[in-house]
A and B are shown apart, each in its own frame.
Chain A
C-alpha cells in the first residue's frame, strides 16, 4: 500500500524486459505492462501513479508509444508532495515536447510552483520550463522567471538565468526585460550563477542590439577583470580541471568578450592584454586547456584587428594542426577554415600539412581538410594541388572518392586557364574515378571538347588510350564513345597531332575493336567495318534489354530502308554552345543549342505529335519508352548520349564495350528521348527560330532536351521537317513495321457503329494522352441518347470530357466527338487498354454495345 514502494516493481519490470531474448518477447512484456498502466490510468489510481510513470518513461526510452501517460504527468505535477512533482516534471520533459497541446495545461501548475516556498520545487519548475516551454508559456511565465533571476538562492538564480534564455529565444520581444537582471548576475562570485549569467548576456546580445550596446558600455571592463581573476586564480579544487580553474567559466568569459569586441575598437582594445595572456599562458597539453585556446582564438579572430594577437592565434592553430591528437587536428582544420576570411596568407602557409590531412585515416578529418584545400586553391597553386588530389584519388577510400572527385572536378573547372590542361585533368579524374563524376561535369567536358577544335584529335586519342586501361569507368567510356563517334576519323588518321603527342597507330578495326562499335558518325565512310556493325545491330535486335533492342531495330531500318537520309542523320554534331550550356548549368538560360556551322540536320523532337507521324513512324524518334538514366533533368548531352551505360557494364560483362558502342548508335537517333523537364519559354524560342523552314542546311538547330521533353514540338517545328522527310517518303508498309507512333486507330467497329481514336500528348506531360474519340453511325437510323462510357485498369487514370452531342445522325452523316484524357502511371512500361460501353436508342429501343480496346499504339 505504500505509494513510494514503487522502486522494486520498476526494477522487476526492467529485469523482465532485460531477460527477453527476442524482440517479440520484449514487445509482449511491454504490452502487458502498458495494459496494466492503462487500466490504472483509467481507474485514476493514485497510489501507483508515481511508479507507473517511471515505468512508462523506461518504456518510452525503448521506443514504444506512451502518449496515454501524458496526463499522468500533469496529475503528479499538480499533487502537493516533492517526490510526486519530481517524477511528474521528469515525465513531462521526457514524454512531451513543446508542440503538444497538453503542455498548455501545465502552465498553471508551473506558475504555482515557481512561487512555491520550497526552493527545490521552484527549481523543478524552472528546469521544466527551461527545457520545454512554448512561446505561449514563455509569455505567461516571464514575469515569474524575471523575478527569480534576482532570487536570494544562487541555485535558483542560475536556473532562472538559463530559463530566461529559452524564454527570449521563444519570444525575442521579452529580451529587454531581462537586460538589467542579467547585468546584475555578472557581478556574482558564485560560478554557476556567473556562467549562466554570462550565457544569458550572450543570448541577449544576439537578440537585441540594445542589450549589446548596454553591456558593451557597462560591463566590458568587469568581464575583462573576471577573466583576469579566473585566469590568475590559485588552485581551486572545486573547479579544477587538469590544472585549470573552471575552464567552463573561462570559455564563457571569452565568448562574451568576443561579442562585446566584435565591431567595436574600444572594447577590443580593452581586452587585448588578457587575450594575449590567455593565448600564451594556457597549458595546452590537456583538452581543457585546448578548449580555452579554441575559444580564445575565435575571440581574437572576431574582435577588431590587432595584428599581434592574430599572429598568436594563427600560431596556436598551426600548433593544433601538428598535434597528434585527432580531435585537436580536426578542430584546427575547422578553425582555419574560418580564419581564411581573416588572413588567407597565414593559412596558406599550412597548405602542405592540410593536404596531408586529406589523406588521414579519419573520415571526419579528411572531409574537413578537403573543404579547406578547396578554399585554399588559387591560380598559383592550382596545378600542384590538383596533381596531389588526383594522385590521392587512386588510393583513397571508396566512400571518400565521391567527395574528393566532386571537389577536384570543381577546382579544375573553376581554375582552368587552358583547355588542354582542363581536358587532361578531367580525363585523369575520369580514369581514376569516372563512376563518381556527376553527369553535368562530364557533359560540360564534352561541351568544352566540342569547342576546342584544335584538340579534337588529341582528345580522342587520349580517350582511346584511357579507355584501354580504365574501361570500367562508366563516365570515361561515355565520353570516349562520344568523342570516337564524333572524331573517329582523327583517331584513325592521326589528324591534328600536337607536338607533345607520341603518334599512335589505330586502324579502323582497332577503333571498332576497342569499343566494339565505336561507330563513326559517317556511315558512308565505313566500308569493311560496316558489315561488322550491321552484325552487331542485328545481334541486338533480339536483345532482352528493351532499349538495346529498340535502338538496334531503329538503326537497322535506317541502314536498310532509308539510304537517302542516312548521311544526314549521322552528320557530325554541331559544336555545342559553351555559353548556353554554362548558362543553363547556372540555371539562367532556356535550353536551346544553336550552332553556327556544320550541316546539322534538324530533327524535331518527334514526341507524339500526330502530325509528325511519318517521321515518327520510321524512326520512332519519340522513344518515350526509353528510360532516361539518372535524369539530371533536361541535360541535352544526356539526350545526345541517350542511354544509360550502367546496365551494360553490370549485366553484359564482357560485351560491355559493345553496349557502349551501341550507345553511340543510339544517340544518333535518340534525339527524342524525353527528359524530365521542360520550360515553356523554350518552345517559344524554338518556334521563333524556325522561321527558316525548308532547307535542311539552314535548319541548324538541334532540339534540346528540354524542348524535347516539352513534347514541345510545336507544329511549327514538326511540320517543315516532316515535309522534308516526306520527300524521302518511306514506303507506307515500312511505317507499320517500325512501330507506329500514335496514328489514329479504329477503336471499335460494328456494322452499325464506328469509333475512331486520335491521339495527342498533353504538353509537358508524356504520361498523359489526349484521345479524341469520333463516333460515326453507319446504320440508316438516327441514334439518340448516345452515351459512351469507358473504364481503365488501376495504373491508368481516365477523364472524360462532355461529348459534343448525344444524337448521332444516320449513315455517317455527321459525328459526335468526345475528348478523353488518359494518364498512364506506368508510362513506358505498359500500354493503354480500355473497356468501353456504348448505349443509345434506335427508334426508342435501347441498344447496348460493349468492347475492349487493345490496339492502342505502343508507348502511349
Chain B
C-alpha cells in the first residue's frame, strides 16, 4: 500500500465559488458534500477572509485545514478550495483557464453576463471540471462542445416554435 504521505495527496477541488466584491454569490459548485447550512456558512466565512485581503498579498488563504486559492478578475473573485498539500499554482492556472473560456464565450465577460446567464457559466464549468478534477485542457474543445449543445437547444426551440405556429394556424 501507499505510505501515509502519499495518501494525503487526494487531488480534488472541493468547491468552486464566485463572489462579487460586495460579497454576492455568483456561482457555487460543490464537489464535496456540504449541507445547505454549511454552504451558507462557508460562503460567509470565505467572503470575510478573502474580500478583505490586500491586492499585493498571495492568492492563498488557509481555512479550516484546507486551502482556498482565489484570484480576482475585475469585480469577481474566483475561489477554489483544495487540500493543504495540493498544487496551488496549478489551481491558479485552472482558474485562469476557466476565466479565459468564459471570456471567449461571452466575448469579454463581465459580472452582468454571469448574473443573467448564470446557467451558461455552470454549463461551461461542467465542461471544465467534473468531480472536482480537470476535464479538458483545450479551450477550443470546450467551446466546440458548448456550441454544439447550445445549437441543440436552439434547434429544439425552433422546432417547438414552428410546431406551436402550426398548431396556432390550424386552430385559427
A residues contacting B by CB (< 8 A) are 1-4, 11, 14, 18, 54, 57-58, 61-63, 65, 81-83, 86-87, 90, 93-94, 97-99, 120, 123, 126-127, 130-131, 155, 158-159, 162-163, 165-166, 191-192, 195-196, 199, 202-203, 205-206, 209, 212, 238-239, 241, 246-249, 251, 255, 258-259, 262-263, 287-288, 290-291, 294-295, 298, 302, 326-331, 334, 338, 361-365, 367
B139 (CB) vs chain A CBs: closest residue: A238
Please state if B90 and A248 are interface contacts (CB–CB under 8 Å).
yes
A364 and B136 alpha carbons, distance in the complex (Å): 31
15 other contacts beyond A162-B135, A195-B135, A302-B6, with CB at 8 A cut-off?
A61-B118, A82-B149, A83-B156, A90-B126, A94-B122, A130-B130, A131-B126, A192-B136, A192-B137, A238-B141, A255-B11, A263-B2, A291-B92, A294-B89, A364-B58
Given that A248-B137, A331-B89 are contacting pairs, would A11 and B116 also be in contact in the complex, using a CB cutoff of 8 Å?
Answer: yes
User: B164 an interface residue at 8 Å Cβ cutoff?
Assistant: yes
Complex Cα distance, B166 from A154, in Å, reads 40
Could you say which of B5, B92, B130, B161 has the most chain A C-beta atoms within 10 Å of its C-beta?
Answer: B130
Contacts of B36 in A (CB 8 A): 65
* Residues B1-33 near A (CB distance < 8 A): 1-3, 5-7, 9-11, 25-31, 33
> Could you say which of B59-67, B72-80, B101-109 contacts chain A?
B59-67
Question: Known contacts A63-B40, A202-B11, A262-B3; is A294 also within 8 Å of B156 by CB?
Answer: no
> B67 CB to closest chain A CB, in angstroms?
9
Contacts of A4 in B (CB 8 A): 153, 156-157, 160-161
Contact A238-B138, Cβ < 8 Å, known A63-B25, A90-B123? yes
List, sorted by A's number, 25 A–B pairs whose CB atoms are closer than 8 Å.
Answer: A11-B116, A18-B115, A81-B156, A86-B149, A94-B122, A97-B34, A97-B35, A158-B135, A158-B136, A162-B131, A191-B136, A196-B133, A199-B11, A199-B134, A203-B10, A205-B2, A206-B6, A238-B139, A287-B89, A287-B93, A302-B5, A327-B59, A327-B60, A364-B61, A364-B62
Q: Does B45 contact A (CB under 8 A)?
A: no
* Those 5 A-B pairs whose CB atoms lie nearest each other, nearest first: A291-B89, A326-B58, A162-B130, A130-B130, A130-B131
Contact residues in B for A82 (Cβ distance below 8 Å): 149, 152-153, 156
| Assembly CA distance A203 to B137 (angstroms) | 19
Question: How many residues of B are in contact with the other chain, CB < 8 A?
Answer: 66
With the chains together, A86 CA to B136 CA distance in Å? 20
Report the bound CA distance from A166 to B12 in whole Å. Answer: 10
Q: A205-B2, A331-B88 are in contact. Are A192 and B138 (CB under 8 A)?
A: yes
A-B contact count (CB 8 A): 196
Known contacts A130-B131, A131-B131, A247 near B123 by CB under 8 Å? no
What is the distance, in angstroms, from A49's C-beta to the closest C-beta of chain B?
A: 14
Which residues of A sit under 8 angstroms from B97, Cβ to Cβ? 241, 248
CA of A126 to CA of B131, assembled, Å: 10
Assembly CA distance A82 to B154 (angstroms):
10
Most buried by B among A14, A120, A130, A288: A130
Q: Tell me whether B33 and A239 are in contact (CB under 8 A).
A: no
**Docked pose: A54 CA to B119 CA in angstroms:** 7
Q: In the complex, what distance in Å separates the CA atom of A87 from the CA atom of B160?
A: 17
- With A and B bound together, what is the CA distance between A699 and B23 in angstroms? 65
User: Do A262 and B6 touch across chains, with their CB atoms under 8 A apart?
Assistant: yes
Q: Given A63-B25, A82-B149, A165 and B2 touching (CB < 8 A)?
A: no
Closest to A87 in B: B119
A320 to chain B, nearest CB (A): 10
- Per the bound structure, the CA–CA distance linking A1 and B165 in Å amounts to 10
Q: Which residues of A contact B35 (CB under 8 A)?
A: 97, 99
> Please, how many angstroms separate the alpha-carbon atoms of A262 and B59 in the complex?
30
In angstroms, Cα B163 to Cα A1, docked, is 11
Would A99 and B33 count as touching, CB distance under 8 A? yes
Q: In the complex, how many angstroms separate the beta carbon of A83 from the nearest chain B beta carbon?
A: 4
- B172 within 8 Å of A (CB atoms): no
Q: Does B145 interact with chain A (Cβ within 8 Å)?
A: yes
Indicate if the CB atoms of B130 and A239 lie closer than 8 Å. Answer: no
**Could you say which residues of chain A place their CB within 8 Å of the CB of B40?**
63
Are B33 and A98 in contact, with the CB atoms below 8 A?
A: yes
Q: How far in angstroms is the closest Cβ of chain A from B48?
A: 13
A57 adjacent to B118 (CB under 8 Å): yes
B133 to chain A: which residues have CB within 8 Å? 162, 165, 196, 199
A166 CA / B11 CA spacing, docked (Å): 12
